Every structure is written in C-alpha cells, then in structure tokens.
C-alpha cells in the first residue's frame, strides 16, 4: 500500500515524530523516525513502514580521477563493491617483456588466472550460454577500455567484442572512455579471456538520472522485475518509480519493465549491501526470487564484500589491502547443505568471541555476542581478488576486491556449463549443495584472517571458514 500524507497526519497515525537526518560526509537528507506504533491486530499484516526507523544509505558517486581513486568502504561508496585501484608500478611494455607467469605474485593477468585454476582455452560458444553480468549505480563499461585490454592481454579476442546490452528501465551503455566505471570494466575484462568465444549479456539497470543521485532504494528489485514479470506485482515504495517523474534530460518515461528478459545460465553480481540497510521482509522477498532462479537452473554468483568480518564502515579507507568479507547472516539460518561444514568450523576452530543466535535481528549482541552462530555462513567459495590488471579510463591499473573474484568464479561455472551442454546435459543451476559435497575439488587455504570491528576477525581453518570457502 502506498499513499500520500502530511508529516503531521502520519505522525498522528503512527504516534511518532519524524525528523530530517543529514549524512555528514555526503550531505544527503533522509526522513525517518526513532520509533513508530502499530495496533497489535494490524501488525501481522504489515512487513514494514517507510519512511520509518531505517536510515536508507545515501550514495555519493566518486568524482576523483580514476588513477587517484581510493577504495572507500561503506555508505560513502554506494553499494557497488567499489574495487581498489592503484598504480601498475611499471609500464605495460615492461610487464609484457617478462615471461607471462613470472610476475603472478604481484600482477594478475588473464594468463595467471588461467594457470591458477587450470582453465583451458575456450573453444565452444553455445548460443544459450552467454554469461550474464549485472551493473548498477551508474557504473558503465567502456568499449575502448575493452579493446585496449584485449589488444594487450588477449589478442585472440577481436576488437569490438563486447556484451549484448539488455537495458532495464532506461539504462544506457557503453560510456565514453573517460567516464568508464572501474567495476564494469573489471567484470568484462576479467571474464572474457576465460569464456571466449562465449559471449556476455549486460543487465544494466535504471536510467542515468536516477543513477546519478542513487540513494540505495530498490536495490536489485528492478533487475528481478525484468526477469520475472510476476515479481512486479510486489512493487514496493522503496523502488524507483517508472515512468520516471523527473523532468531532467535522460529520464526513462516508459513503464516499469516486467519479465522482458530471459535470465542467463550464470549471473555475476559484484554489488551488495548490509542486512541492516533494508527491511527483513524486503530482503526475504528478493531471496525467494533468487531461489526461483535456482529452480530454473540459473547460478547466481555474488561478491561477499571487502570489509572483513564487520559491516561496512564509513570511516575505513584502504589504499593497499582489504579483508575479504565473510561471517554469518543475522536474518537467514544455516542451510542444511552447509550445516556440517559450519558446525565443523565452530567446533574445531571456534572464534574467540561470544556469540548470539537470531534470524530476525532481534538478539544481536545478546550476552555480549558479536556474531550469529546460528546464521548462514558466507562466503561459499573464493577466488583471487588482488592486483588484477585492467584498463580503466584508457590507462592500465591494478584493481582488487571480491568484485574481481565473483566474475572469475562465474566464468568458470559458465565454462563448465559449456561442456555440459555440449554433452547433452543440463546446466549446473543452484550449485551450493554440490560445492559442499565435494571439498576435495578445492584448494584449502588455512592461513589468514579477515579483521574487522577492532578484532582479528575470523581465522582461516581446515575446511570451511568465514574467510574463504569450503
């Protein structure tokens, strides 16, 4: 239900007081209240009310020169997992003059990734098996960057090779080279050498006007609407309104796009947010959509974040290293396929911290606990994500983050699907139960941790752990 009301009327209806909150670093304004009241006999029919007690995370798009851009965690970086950029430290000619695998400890090229994971050169391109890549928050790839990357590191890929655009609600792509988004450039440059001659599909979301003033509303919903028309029936007041009510140039004046695209067999998403930023019911509706994709034999790969064992932190800035995101959900319980692995970690390598147990955010911090021992553990799998070389805004740079790891793993799944389809088999689909059933297929990293919240975070251990994988 959505309706217009004055602040006074809504305050009277909900027995509350609304305030305007300003984010000190971005200047973004948000209307919210400390609490509101709903009669008991109505509560069971209400998932949440907005504006309410949630402070929707604001967004500030970086205007820095790409070569000087820092990695910034938290609300100041929006909700793409903005990859770390740093100087290459040598000329491209100097890099290419070194035997191709000799510098893999310092600079990760396509050849390094192929060697690390024993990925042979591709030879198949089933027309039904393109890799899907989601992009949002005004981050758009540049074809010029792709071409110079191919010319430098993957000369077997023809110039002009790029994704098929499936634009959602007025989105546009590609962008001129000087406006290129590092996230989008990374996703395509890291995946193409692994999957070629297979192609890619770009799910670019929302019109440029909305993206330019992104406030983390409707995150992923418009994308899911475009894949599943029935999901449009759950249109939410948090989601962008289409036709776009703005009169600015570039607004999308068409209707909300519902069920207009077919999901690819594998979809890579290097964007994310915190469970605390959106209502639980909102997130669970989205979770149901992702489960429906799994039932359609679609594999969805999402980056786990780069803020260690804690939620993102406005004040944390890093220009050299980042702790991989990992830990336990506060709103999803440990799934059956993961239970043995998680129990083994908590029993054999228990974190040195007090814990709590919840699936509704209701017991966070109980008994002094700082992690949810009954929650869904993540990540499920890991891949290299540091010192990846790409071209962005026409220049070579090193980049890092789980933003790189996700499309690498998604590309490997795409290659596996390629072989399965050629053998007359089905695609992998929801892959998690298989991953946990075959830990022998993975390298088990047992050193390291992911610090956060003024702690050392979770430590790596034999088998699954909240830092890397099974």
Q: Which residues are annotated as a binding site?
A: 444-445, 463, 465
Instruction: Give the closest residue to 114 by CA, choosing from 192, 200, 184, 198.
Output: 192
Contact indicator for 252, 245 with CB cutoff of 8 Å:
no
Cα(114)–Cα(442) distance, rounded to whole angstroms? 15
Peptide bond preceding 379 in cis form (omega within 30 of 0): yes
Positive or negative: CA dihedral 435, 436, 437, 442: positive
Alpha-carbon distances of 125 from 112, 128, 312, rounded to whole Å: 23, 8, 39
Beta strands in 106-214 (DSSP E): 131-135, 164-165, 200-204
Kindly provide the residue ranges of all beta strands, DSSP E only, lying in 294-425, ordered along the sequence: 299-302, 317-318, 327-333, 355-356, 371-372, 375-378, 388-392, 395-400
Stated as kind and residue range, the H or E segment containing 194 is helix 182-195
Distance CA 157, CA 104 (A): 22
Please give the annotated binding residues for Ca(2+), written as ranges: 444-445, 463, 465
User: Which sequence positions are flagged as catalytic?
Assistant: 183, 187, 403
| 120 in Cβ contact with 132 (< 8 Å) | no
The rounded distance, in Å, linking the Cα atoms of 195 and 414 is 7
Cβ within 8 Å of residue 108, ≥6 positions away: 384, 386, 387, 388, 389
In 3D, which of 437, 411, 255, 427 has the Cα closest to residue 340? Answer: 437
**Sign of the alpha-carbon torsion through 206, 79, 379, 141:** positive
From CA 240, how far away is CA 251, in angstroms rounded?
Answer: 12
Residue reference for tokens 């995101």? 325
């Amino acid at each position: 239900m959505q309706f217009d009301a004055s602040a006074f009327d809504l305050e009277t209806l909900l027995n509350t007081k609304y305030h305007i909150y300003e984010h000190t670093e971005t200047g973004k304004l948000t209307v919210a209240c400390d609490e509101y009241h709903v009669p008991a006999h109505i509560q069971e029919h209400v998932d949440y009310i907005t504006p309410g007690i949630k402070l929707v995370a604001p967004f500030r798009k970086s205007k820095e020169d790409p070569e000087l851009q820092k990695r910034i965690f938290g609300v100041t970086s929006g909700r793409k997992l903005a990859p770390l950029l740093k100087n290459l430290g040598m000329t491209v000619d100097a890099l290419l003059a070194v035997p191709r695998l000799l510098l893999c400890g310092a600079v990760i090229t396509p050849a390094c990734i192929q060697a690390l994971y024993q990925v042979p050169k591709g030879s198949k391109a089933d027309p039904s098996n393109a890799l899907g890549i989601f992009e949002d928050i005004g981050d758009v790839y540049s074809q010029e960057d792709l071409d110079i990357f191919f010319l430098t590191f993957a000369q077997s890929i023809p110039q002009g090779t790029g994704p098929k655009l499936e634009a959602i609600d007025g989105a546009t792509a590609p962008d001129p080279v000087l406006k290129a988004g590092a996230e989008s450039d990374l996703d395509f440059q890291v995946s193409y050498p692994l999957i070629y001659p297979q192609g890619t599909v770009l799910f670019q979301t929302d019109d440029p006007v909305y993206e330019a003033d992104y406030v983390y509303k409707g995150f992923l919903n418009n994308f899911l609407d475009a894949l599943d028309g029935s999901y449009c029936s759950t249109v939410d007041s948090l989601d962008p309104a289409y036709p776009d009510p703005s009169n600015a140039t570039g607004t999308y004046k068409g209707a909300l796009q519902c069920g207009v695209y077919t999901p690819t067999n594998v979809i890579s998403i290097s964007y994310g947010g915190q469970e605390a930023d959106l209502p639980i019911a909102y997130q669970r509706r989205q979770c149901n959509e992702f489960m429906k994709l799994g039932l359609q034999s679609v594999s969805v790969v999402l980056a786990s974040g780069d803020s260690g064992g804690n939620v993102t932190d406005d004040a944390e800035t890093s220009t050299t290293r980042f702790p991989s995101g990992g830990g336990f959900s506060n709103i999803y319980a440990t799934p059956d396929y993961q239970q043995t692995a998680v129990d083994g970690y908590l029993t054999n390598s228990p974190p040195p911290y007090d814990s709590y147990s919840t699936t509704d955010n209701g017991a966070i911090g109980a008994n002094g606990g700082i992690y949810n021992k009954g929650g869904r553990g993540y990540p499920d799998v890991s891949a290299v994500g540091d010192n990846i070389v790409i071209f962005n805004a026409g220049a070579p740079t090193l980049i890092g983050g789980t933003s790189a790891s996700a499309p690498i793993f998604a590309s490997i799944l795409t290659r596996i699907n390629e072989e399965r389809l050629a053998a007359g088999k089905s695609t992998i689909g929801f892959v998690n139960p298989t991953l946990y059933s075959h830990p022998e297929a993975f390298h088990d990293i047992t050193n390291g941790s992911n610090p956060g919240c003024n702690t050392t975070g979770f430590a790596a251990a034999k088998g699954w752990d909240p830092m890397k994988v099974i």
